[in-house]
Structure 1
């Protein structure tokens, strides 16, 4: 592969720094993880956004979370059509093979993917309507969220509301997977919806009792 190049020097330096500190201090733990395999308690589905750092938010160690990241932390509906489904495959592996006890969908503030969906649905981003747009076709999953927030007049507030709809729609879609629904109904799995305000360091969770998100 002629186009692959060596890592930038600063990344190599960081690796050696990690190996000399964190790895050396916890070598036995890393070896145990390698030999005994992973047994995470929870799966977290979060956005690709570089500002969303799941392990830092929850102070998680290696082996604790099975993390899947995609644009706007979306889960598509169950659709076994034989095409490529990275998110669906990750959910299947987490629930059926790893048997995680929790699946957490984590949305966040200032999400570029959600903003793109808003603009696409509002006719402000025609490039995302193109069939060749991977982002646009992925964000089609969130189109119901645009419709559900039609009563929010302010565009900025509507995007914020759509960020939370991305979490709720993903939770709804998770329940269309037969193995997820069975695990939930048999009390082997619980689903959780979270939204974090990156700038304010806040975390909100969906509370079905009040039908909205509340700060934890």
Structure 2
């Protein structure tokens, strides 16, 4: 019997003999001085959309909280347990991050569940159902739109849920206060797993654009549209 799965131990060995060996001083400094990331990322717990990988971040660069469908609940202090709210409080009040990015992604299982009004709970507790009720009103509206295809409804809710989470971020008094003071900026992003395209939300219009393509070329694609994956490769070349 092994203490951990073999593939995890193999990965750990690779880390210790590779990245850690190359960045030993960095890790020691982080251990000694503590973390001071400038950016918090609120992402989905989907194994295919890891923020550190997507943004090429090293140790200590991102403060990441991941949950089902990268949702932020409204500010609601009570006696219950609030994991995402606790992480947000620490990031804003203790770490004093300067940016918060809500990052959604394509083919999100949580969003798919929110759109499936006929789905039965996975367990009697229905934790997923309760959590996804954060976007229930808009999910119900989109699910009933027969003019959209299933894929269009999925992408639409994935992106609208990002805007919903950003609105909920502003319901936290300390987030609103620091944003008003110009000390904190809120961002939305959406990642396409299939093409590796990254779309960022325009803070003024709410539209999503590809920062390496649309902004440079002065053209934006319609919300929910999928563009060829070659664009990312061309822009990086």
Q: Deviations over 1:73-122 (max 9, x none)?
A: 000000001100000000000000000000000000000000000003xx
**Aligned-residue RMSD, C-alpha:** 1.7
Alignment of 1:6-155 (within 5 A): 6-120=3-117, 124-127=118-121, 132-147=125-140, 149=142, 151=145, 153-155=148-150
Residue 163 of structure 1: aligned partner: 158
Q: Deviations over 1:140-192 (max 9, x none)?
A: 01113314535453232111100001111100000000000001001110000
TM superposition outliers: structure 1 runs of 4+ over 2 Å: 147-156, 208-211
TM-score w.r.t. the length of structure 1 is 0.91
- Matched residues in 2 for 1:148 and 1:61: separation? 40
Judge conservation of contact 2:163–2:206 (CA < 8 Å) in 1: no
- Matched residues in 1 for 2:158 and 2:17: separation? 40
- Matched residues in 1 for 2:107 and 2:14: separation? 32
SS at match of 1:127: coil
TM-score w.r.t. the length of structure 2 is 0.83
Higher relative contact order (CA 8 A, sep 6+): 1
Structure 1 stretches of 5 or more lacking a match? none
SS at match of 1:125: coil
- Matched residues in 1 for 2:171 and 2:112: separation? 26
How far does residue 15 in structure 1 lie from its aligned partner after superposition?
A: 1.0
Residue 188 of structure 2: aligned partner: 193
Residue 182 of structure 1: aligned partner: 177
- Matched residues in 1 for 2:187 and 2:42: separation? 10
- Matched residues in 1 for 2:172 and 2:124: separation? 26
Relative to structure 1, the CA distance from residue 125 to residue 5 in structure 2 (aligned partners, 3 Å threshold; closer, same or farther) is farther
